[in-house]
Amino acid sequence: MKYEIKGTPLPVVEIALDSGESIKCQGGAMSWMSGNMQMETSGGGLGKIFTKAITGEALFHNIYTARGGEGYIAFAASLPGQILAVPVTPGNDIICQKSSYLASTPGVEISVSFQKKLGAGFFGGEGFIMQRIRGDGLVFLEIDGMAETKQLAAGERLIVDTGILALMDATCSIDIETVGSVKNAIFGGEGLFNTVITGPGNVTLQTMPASRLASSIVSPAMKSR
């Protein structure tokens, strides 16, 4: 399998498959493909359908296989940003925001990751439920805006605004902390809480989460009325 990620600010990944090779994705994710790509739809059982429902995925996924020779298929991002190709290896799970999954090789699995701390779930901007990616293969993820990766040592803390966290190694943990004094909270413009990520592990941040993008579009429209 070979792939090329191209285009900005609305990127697309085009994947070239050898005969018999497969790629899986959410239903409706395909943008274009060669004529010899064969599609098979699967729900993965009642338990997996429930998992997909609460993580924001489509209830069914499609498996595309090149038949009778080499083929290609493309998946486009749904928002301005980047598409990342992230290797997944056994025992090195990745935690990512809901709806970031775009496509993956068949050996990659997606499940639910619940936030262990109530405060992080309520106020951290990531919600109680995130996606856990495990297995062996390659996953393509959507990032809102530009992606920036930080490597955290054991015990090292990274403070980010809510919604900025895109994905992290499962060895990292999430918590929240207040922005400081009441004056900071009222006049600082940063809200009441920040998200705190503690290492060890890699953390990937996004510069323009979907909620912030929507707010930046709606605000000028409201002012113009």
Provide the Cα torsion 222, 205, 16, 35; round to 10°: -30
The answer to the question of residue 223 being in a domain is no
Helix, strand or coil for residue 69? coil
Comparing C-alpha atoms, which of 137, 67, 152 is closest to residue 103? 137
The answer to the question of residue 225 being in a domain is no
Identify the DSSP state of 133.
Answer: E
Q: What pLDDT does 211 receive?
A: 67
The answer to the question of residue 165 being in a domain is yes
The answer to the question of residue 64 being in a domain is yes
Q: What pLDDT does 42 receive?
A: 80
Report the length, in residues, of the chain.
Answer: 225
Could you tell me the CA-to-CA distances from 129 to 113, 120, 195, 220 in Å, in that order? 6, 11, 15, 32
- Tell me which amino acid residue 187 is: F
Q: What pLDDT does 111 receive?
A: 86
Rounded distance between C-alpha atoms, residue 10 and residue 20, angstroms: 30
Helix, strand or coil for residue 122? helix
Please count the other Cβ atoms lying within 10 Å of the Cβ belonging to residue 83: 22
The answer to the question of residue 136 being in a domain is yes
pLDDT by 10s per residue, the chain, length 225? 999 999 988 999 999 999 999 999 988 889 999 999 999 998 655 455 555 555 555 567 899 999 999 999 999 998 899 999 999 999 999 999 888 899 999 999 988 877 655 444 444 445 557 899 999 999 999 999 999 999 999 999 999 988 899 999 999 999 888 775 444 444 444 557 788 999 999 999 999 887 666 666 655 554 555
Rounded distance between C-alpha atoms, residue 125 and residue 89, angstroms: 28
Domain range for 12? 2-218
Q: What is the CATH number of the domain that holds 185?
A: 3.60.160.10
The answer to the question of residue 96 being in a domain is yes
Can you give the pTM of this predicted structure? 0.81
Q: What pLDDT does 223 receive?
A: 52
Rounded distance between C-alpha atoms, residue 95 and residue 173, angstroms: 10
> Which position has the token pair 């928002």?
79
Comparing C-alpha atoms, which of 25, 149, 168, 146 is closest to residue 94? 168
Q: What pLDDT does 192 receive?
A: 72
Q: Structural domain tally of the chain?
A: 1
The answer to the question of residue 134 being in a domain is yes
Could you tell me if residue 9 is left (phi over 0), alpha (psi between -120 and 50 degrees) or otherwise beta? alpha
Q: What pLDDT does 218 receive?
A: 58
Helix, strand or coil for residue 163? coil
The answer to the question of residue 204 being in a domain is yes
Cβ atoms of 209 and 144 closer than 8 Å: yes
